Amino acid sequence: MDLLIANLDLLMFPAAIILLLCGFPVAFTLAGVGLIFAVLGALTHTGFFASGDLSFLKALFGRLFGLMDESNEVLVAVPLFVFMGVMLERSGVATELLESMSRLFGRWPGGLGLSVAFVGMLLAASTGIVGATVVTMGLISLPTMLAHHYDKRLATGVIAASGTLGQIIPPSIVLIILGDVLSNSYLEARRSVGDWAPSPMTVGDVFSGALLPGLLLVALYMAYTLAVALWRPDRAPSAVLPGAGPALGSLLKILLPPLILIVAVLGSILFGVATPTEAAAIGAVGAILLAGQRLGGTTSLPQIAAVFGAVIVVAAVALFDLRVVRQDWPTGDRIGMAIAACGLVAFAIGLAISLRQTWQSREADSAVPVLAQAMRTTTKMTAMVFTIYIGAQVFNLAFRGLGGEQTIHDFFTALPGGPWMALAAVMLVMFVLGFFLDFLEIVFVVTPIMAPVLFAFNDASGQALFHPVWIAVLMGLNLQTSFLTPPFGFSLFYLRGVAPKEVLTSDIYRGVVPFVLIQILVLALVMAWPGLSTWLPAALG
C-alpha cells in the first residue's frame, strides 16, 4: 500500500489510458482522473495535498482565466484555421484540385501517386486537418488508382502518408497548439534555472521551423513513388483518365486560388506582416471566397470585388494616416479615408455575396447548406479542443500536486547519457503514446510535463542546450510518424474506414512501411542537423 501511495502521480497515466481505451470521453476522463487522484492525495496526505485538503486545486481558476485572457490571442487561430479547412473540404475545392492534378499527371508513370503527394501538401497547407485529408483523398484517389491497376500497398501508403502532412506543414492545428504550450513551458523552465531573459518562441517561429522539414518529406514521398514507378512500372502504371487533361487556363483557375490563399496566410506569418491569429482570419475569409467562387455559378465577380477591395484597403493604410481619433485631418488623409471606405464597401459586398452563395449551395446527400455544415463542424471541433484543454489542466495540476513534476525531473536527469538520453526518452514516450492517444491529449497533458525538463538543460555558456523551435519540430515529426506507424496509427484507421473491401488491412500496413522509414529518416536528419528547423526562423527573424 505504501508503494502505491508513493507512486500516485505515476499511476495517473495508466488509469487515464485504461479509461480512454474503454471509450470514455477524453476531456471528462482527464478531469475525472485528476480529481479522483487529487482526492486520494488529500486522503493520504501526499505531496502538496499534505494538509489533507484540496486547496492546491485553486490554481486551476488562474490557469483557465489565462486561457480566456484577452492577451492570449494565439489559440483564437484554432477555430479560424479549422473553419478554413472545413470550408475548403466541404465546398469541394479540395476534390476539384485533386481530380484536376490527377488528370494532368495521370498519364505519367506513377503520376497518380505524384498527384496525391502534391495535393496532400496543398491540402495540408490549406486545411491542416489530418482526418479530413486522409478521408478525402481515400474516397477520391484510391478507387481511381486501383481501377488503373496500381499496387494496393503503394496506393494506400502514399495516400496515408500524404494525408498526415497536415501534422507538420503549417498552418497546422498541431503546430499552433504545440507552439503555444511549448512557449509557456520554455519560459517557465528557463526562469526556473535562473535565466530571466530567455528569447521567446512564437507560433510563427514554429511554422517557419517546420516548413523545410515538411517540404523535405513531400520531396522524399514523391521521389520514392517515382522510383517505384520507374523500377516496377507494373506497380504504378500510367493511367488514361476519363476526359482530357485540363487546359492551362482551366488548371490555373483551379490551382492558383488555393496557392494564393496559402501564400497569403503563410507569407503574412513568416514575414511578420500578421500574427497567426490575423493570418487565420485571412484564411477563413479566403476560404469563403473560394467556396463562393466554386459554388456560385458562372461568374467570379463577387470574389474579384472582395479581393480588389481588400487590396485597396491595404494600400490606403500603407499610404495614408487613417487614424480616426485625432483633431487634424489633412486633405490627403481625407482622400485616403474615402478610398479605404470604397474598398471596404467592395470587400463587404463581395464577401456577402460569397456567403450567400455558400449558404444556398447544398450537397447531394444532405439538405444542410455548406456554410452551415462548416460552422457546425468548426464549433464542434473547437469545443472539443478547449474542453480537452480544460480537462488536461485539471489532470496536470493534480499530477503536479502529487509531486509528479519533481518525479519526472529526477527520472530524466538521472538517466545515463545526460540531456541527450533524456531527449531520446521523451521522444520514445511520445511516440508510444501516439498509438493510444490523439495529439490533443499528448500535447496538452504530456508536453507540459516533459518539455520543461529538456528546456532546463544548459550548455557550456549557460544558455538553453535545446532550441525550443527544434524541440517543437522534433515533436511534430515524432507525432506524425506515430500516427502513421502500424498497427495503431490513427491515419491507418481513417483510411481503413473508406477503403474498398478488396483492400486488406495488411495491404495498408505493409504499404505505409516505406513511408514510415522516410519519416524516421527525416526525423533523424532534423535531430542530427538542427539547422534544418532553426535556420529559416533565424533568417526571417
Please write the tens of the pLDDT for every residue from 477-489: 998 898 888 877 7
Domain that holds residue 444: 91-246+439-541
**40: in domain:** no
Nearest to residue 114, comparing CAs of 141, 93, 153? 141
Q: Residue 534: its pLDDT value, please?
A: 92
**318: in domain:** no
Q: Residue 215: its pLDDT value, please?
A: 93
**156: in domain:** yes
**33: in domain:** no
The whole-number average pLDDT for the span 321-337 is 79
| Element holding 148 (H helix, E strand) | none
Nearest to residue 171, comparing CAs of 260, 94, 283? 283
* pTM, entire model: 0.85
**In this prediction, what percent of the chain has a pLDDT beyond 90?**
13
**447: in domain:** yes
DSSP assignments along 208-226, one per residue: HHHHHHHHHHHHHHHHHHH
**118: in domain:** yes
Rounded to a whole number of angstroms, the CA Rg of the chain reads 25
* Encoded amino acid at 80, one letter: L
The rounded distance, in Å, linking the Cα atoms of 388 and 382 is 10
- What's the Cα-to-Cα distance from 437 to each of 14, 221, 443, rounded to whole Å? 12, 26, 10
DSSP assignments along 234-275, one per residue: TTS-----SSPPPPHHHHHHHHHHHHHHHHHHHHHHHTTSS-
The rounded distance, in Å, linking the Cα atoms of 385 and 439 is 10
Identify the bridge partners of residue 464 per DSSP, sorted by sequence position. Answer: 458
State whether residue 339 is helix, strand or coil.
helix
**65: in domain:** no
pLDDT single digits (tens) 341-392 = 888 888 888 888 888 777 765 544 455 678 888 888 888 888 888 888 888 8
- Does residue 517 register a pLDDT over 90? yes
pLDDT single digits (tens) 5-55 = 777 888 888 888 888 878 788 888 989 999 999 888 888 877 777 777 777
Nearest to residue 114, comparing CAs of 212, 218, 216, 258? 218
| Element holding 145 (H helix, E strand) | helix 130-147
* Encoded amino acid at 504, one letter: L
Q: Residue 218: its pLDDT value, please?
A: 93
Cβ count near 320 (within 10 Å): 18
Nearest to residue 264, comparing CAs of 205, 216, 314, 305? 314
Average pLDDT of the chain is 82
The rounded distance, in Å, linking the Cα atoms of 68 and 57 is 18
Cβ count near 194 (within 10 Å): 8
Report the residue count for the chain.
541
State whether residue 328 is helix, strand or coil.
coil
- Per the CB < 8 A criterion, the answer to whether 406 and 434 are in contact is no
pLDDT single digits (tens) 387-427 = 888 888 889 888 888 888 888 878 887 788 788 898 999 99
Nearest 5°: phi and psi at 365? -100, 15
pLDDT single digits (tens) 242-263 = 555 555 666 677 778 888 888 8
The rounded distance, in Å, linking the Cα atoms of 221 and 80 is 29
The whole-number average pLDDT for the span 491-495 is 82
**415: in domain:** no
Which segment, 116-130, 334-348, 508-522, is predicted with the most confidence on average?
508-522
Whether the CA torsion 398, 402, 403, 408 is positive or negative: it is: negative
pLDDT bucket at 142, cuts 50 / 70 / 90: confident
State whether residue 424 is helix, strand or coil.
helix
When divided into structural domains, the chain yields a total of 1
Per-residue burial over 64-75, b if 16 or more Cβ lie within 10 Å, else e, is eeeeeeeeeebb
The rounded distance, in Å, linking the Cα atoms of 470 and 206 is 8
State whether residue 464 is helix, strand or coil.
strand
- Angle, to 10 degrees, between the axis of helix 276-295 and the axis of helix 203-231? 50
Q: Dmax of the chain from CA atoms? A: 82
